[in-house]
Amino acid sequence: MGDVSTKISIEHLTYKYPFAKNVSLEDITLSIDAGQSIGIIGRNGAGKSTLCYVLSGLIPRFFHGKITGKVTIDGEDVPTMPVEKLIRKVGLVLQNPFSQISGAKMTVYEEVAFGLENLGIEKDEMHERIDTVLRQFDLYKKKDENPFELSGGQLQRLAIASVLVLKPEILILDEPTSQLDPRGTTEVFETISQLKTLGITILIVEHKFEKLVEYVDKIALLHEGKLLGYDTAEHIFSTSEIETYGVGQPIYTALCKRMGLKKANGYYPVSFGETVALLNGLKGSGMDRRTYNG
């Protein structure tokens, strides 16, 4: 095994927004290894976005309020890290593709340049980096178009590209596909699987569990600001309480729970592939296939 190191460490994190009645995060402790992909799930108001804001430094820099506990990246304290440094470590992609566009740039190319200009990256390197990400995200043909003329999926890819051009080691995506159609969703997930191969640590908040489970190593389950589970998808979704947290589950897990079909390791399948494999296994063991073909 290669040497796996802890990338992000959160200890007893509690946070309350200004003017809020209750805390939005309560005593969260978790750690994430370098290169891992983590899914964050929980129902509305669970604190998923808030956690993303803490990790990307928007809390406490943009949202003030009361934060306690310890959050570190590569052993360095996130709330007090210099912004220039933090930006090179963490990138954040938000939900609404439109409001993430800077709005100050008239072409896709210049939009991607926005962050590089802010950081004072030299011109040659700037062009090189922009060309690379535009090609990587299949936006090169669009480089002279106005960002606001792109489709939702393209716009969200542009948002990801504009963040990745700063070469962060960690990418956080907060419901990146919730406003996209199936095609846009597929585009974004394909992008994410590319990033995994580059060794980037990924955190993704997502409600489309069938897609999510295919891409993540572990899932963090939040509920009313508390971390209720942090484990592999099959562990998280196999529990019977999962339904009480109002988050739902992958359709395949729900189906198999209903039919009482477990994998050999005692957990329910979470993905299409696992379910098919399980069913095929059953077929081999003498069950009548017609039962399952309808």
Partner 1 sequence: MKVLSLYVENDTFIHKLEPITKLLYALISIVITFLFPSIMVGAVFVAFSLLLAISAKVFKRMLLLLNVVLIVLLSMVIIQGLFYRQNVTPAFKLWGLTFYKEGLLYSLLLIVRVVNMIISFGVLILTTRPSDLVDNLVQKGLSPRFGYVLASVLQIIPQMLSTTSTITDAQRSRGLETEGNLFQRFSAFFALLGPLVLNSLVEARERAMAIEIRGFSVEGKRTFVRQIPETKADRWIKISLYVAFIVAVVWRIILWVM
Partner 2 sequence: MAKNSKLTTAILVLIPVAVGINYAGKLFASALKLPLWLDSIGTMLSAVLAGPIVGAISGAINNIIYGLTTDPVSFVYALTSIGIGVSVGFLAKGKMFNNAFRTLLSGLIVALVATVISVPINVVFWGGQTGNVWGDALFAFLQSKNVGIWVSSFFDEIVVDLVDKVLCVFITFGIFKALPKTLVYTFKGEE
Interface residues with Mg ion (CB under 5 A) are: 49
Work out what residue 20 binds among partner 1, partner 2, Mg ion, none; the CB cut-off runs from 5 to 8 Å by kind.
partner 2
3-state secondary structure of 142: helix
Q: Which of 35, 45, 60, 69 binds ligand ATP (CB under 6 A)?
A: 45
The tokens describing 175, both together, are 């419901």
Examine residue 58 and tell whether it contacts partner 1 (CB under 8 A).
yes
59/221 with CB nearer partner 1? 59
Stretch that binds partner 1, among 28-36, 79-87, 224-232, 242-250 (CB under 8 A): 79-87
Examine residue 177 and tell whether it contacts ligand ATP (CB under 6 A).
no
Q: Which of 62, 197, 240, 288 binds partner 1 (CB under 8 A)?
A: 62
What is the distance between the alpha carbons of residues 52 and 15, in angstroms, rounded to a whole number?
A: 12
Q: Which of 3, 80, 83, 290 binds partner 2 (CB under 8 A)?
A: 83
Strand pairing category for 201-205 and 170-174: parallel
CB of 157 to Mg ion, least distance (A): 20
Examine residue 44 and tell whether it contacts partner 2 (CB under 8 A).
no
Examine residue 18 and tell whether it contacts partner 1 (CB under 8 A).
no
CA dihedral for 264, 267, 273, 275, sign (positive or negative)? positive
Examine residue 103 and tell whether it contacts partner 2 (CB under 8 A).
yes
CB of 272 to ligand ATP, least distance (A): 25
Residues 12-41 that bind ligand ATP (CB under 6 A): 17, 20, 24
Residues 6+ apart with CB under 8 A from 162: 100, 111, 112, 114, 115
- Give the strand order in the sheet containing 201-205: 90-93, 170-174, 201-205, 37-41, 218-223, 226-231
Q: Decide if 11 contacts 192 (C-beta within 8 A).
A: no
CB of 45 to ligand ATP, least distance (A): 4
- The torsion of the CA quartet 155, 156, 158, 162, rounded to 10 degrees, works out to 140
What is the distance between the alpha carbons of residues 228 and 36, in angstroms, rounded to a whole number?
A: 20
Cis omega before residue 60 (within 30°)? Answer: yes
What residue ranges bind partner 1 (CB under 8 A)? 53, 56, 58, 61-62, 83-84, 87, 91-92, 94, 96, 98-106, 109-110, 113-123, 126-127, 130, 146, 148-149, 159, 162-163, 166
Chain positions contacting ligand ATP, by CB under 6 A: 17, 20, 24, 42, 44-50, 63
